[in-house]
Structure 1
Amino acid sequence: MKGLNRIPESLKVFNSKEGFTLLEILVALAILATAVTIVFQLFSAGLRNIAASEDYVVATMRAEAKMREILSQRELTENSWIESTKDGYRYTVKVSKTLQEKTGSLTVDVLEVELSVSWVKGIKERVLQLKTLKIVNKQV
């Protein structure tokens, strides 16, 4: 019968009458709080990035639409202008001749169209820029 009351050495840890000290509990809670804080910061950074990327997608769609509108003009000439929309977007457009030394003897000009779309999100101003070239007949 004496052999039945013996507890294996590997299970003696669970049979201990001693508990955790207050210091051990506080250290464990501090580690847990730090881990939870890091996880929440990672999630919030991800959400901020998603919101910012959504804004850039909208701005890109608007910029491409504006660029198509500019390029579809029959008489596109050197010019620059600024437009604002009711929903807070600002378009800055600059059309200028480029590669003149290479097109001097040709009957066409190459125009560079620069389009900047800017908007304010929170306290930051965001800017998206597009550039393209268009071949036009020379103005006489």
Structure 2
Amino acid sequence: METVGFQLFPASTFPRFPVSLSSRKEGFTLLEILVALALLGIAITVILQLFSANLRALSVSGDYVSAAIRADAKMREILEDSDLSEKSWSEVTDDGYRFDASVTEKLPERTANLQIRLLEITLTMQWPEGSKTKYLTLKTLRTVNKKI
């Protein structure tokens, strides 16, 4: 009887199981495959949600850019008016955009001794988007000659 270390029984009485890596069968276990598929599913879901959010952001930014271009064109139209005076008005376009414009004198006490007046032009643009109404406001100043 041969003993090694703390071995109480002879080695020949225990069945031998090969433990070497070469005897392990090739492939993955079912648990490994399930974990990999779960991780893949989570990753694909996150990626699709990011694409969806990106498309929504692109749509909204496109609407704002379009509105800013329209508002800028309207502001330039107002600024080109040679008889600009204090007034307020509203317009609605065929495609649903509404413009509210007002021209008011700014700092009259500072320009009292000058031959010019300082006018503030405020342009507010509204447009429907779904169930909400979006707003964009532009403001600028312009000097005009005083009428005597």
Q: Does the TM-score normalized on the shorter chain lie above 0.5?
A: yes
Question: Secondary structure of the residue that 1:63 maps to in structure 2?
Answer: helix
Supply the distance in 1 between the matched residues of 2:121 and 2:22 (Cα, whole angstroms): 80
Structure number with larger C-alpha Rg: 2
Q: Say if 1:77 and 1:24 are closer, same or farther in 2 by CA, change over 3 A.
A: same
One of 94, 110, 129 as aligned partner of 1:121 = 129
Deviations 1:29-64 (A, max 9, x none): 222111111101111111111111211221111111
Structure 1 runs (4+) deviating above 4 angstroms are none
Q: What is the aligned counterpart of 1:59 among 67, 85, 89?
A: 67
Structure richer in helix, relative to its length: 1
Q: Which one-letter code corresponds to 1:16 in the other structure?
A: K
Taking the aligned partners of 2:46 and 2:39, their CA distance within structure 1 comes to 11
Aligned to 1:136: 144
Amino acid at match of 1:132: T
Q: Which runs of no fewer than 5 residues in structure 1 stay unpaired?
A: 1-8
Corresponding residue SS for 2:124:
strand
Provide the aligned C-alpha RMSD in A: 2.1
Match of 2:41 in 1: 33
Equivalent residues in 2 for 1:31-110 (5 A)?
A: 31-110=39-118
Q: CA deviation at 1:109?
A: 0.6
Equivalent position of 2:7 in the other structure: none
The secondary structure found in structure 2 opposite 1:26 is: helix
Does 1:16 find its partner at 2:25?
yes
Q: Give the percent of matched residue pairs that are identical in Structure 1 and Structure 2.
A: 48
State the distance in 2 between where 1:39 and 1:27 align. Answer: 18
Displacement of 1:26 in angstroms is 3.2
C-alpha separation in 1, matches of 2:57 and 2:27: 49
Q: Which amino acid aligns with 1:113?
A: I
C-alpha separation in 2, matches of 1:18 and 1:75: 85
- Give the number of aligned pairs: 129
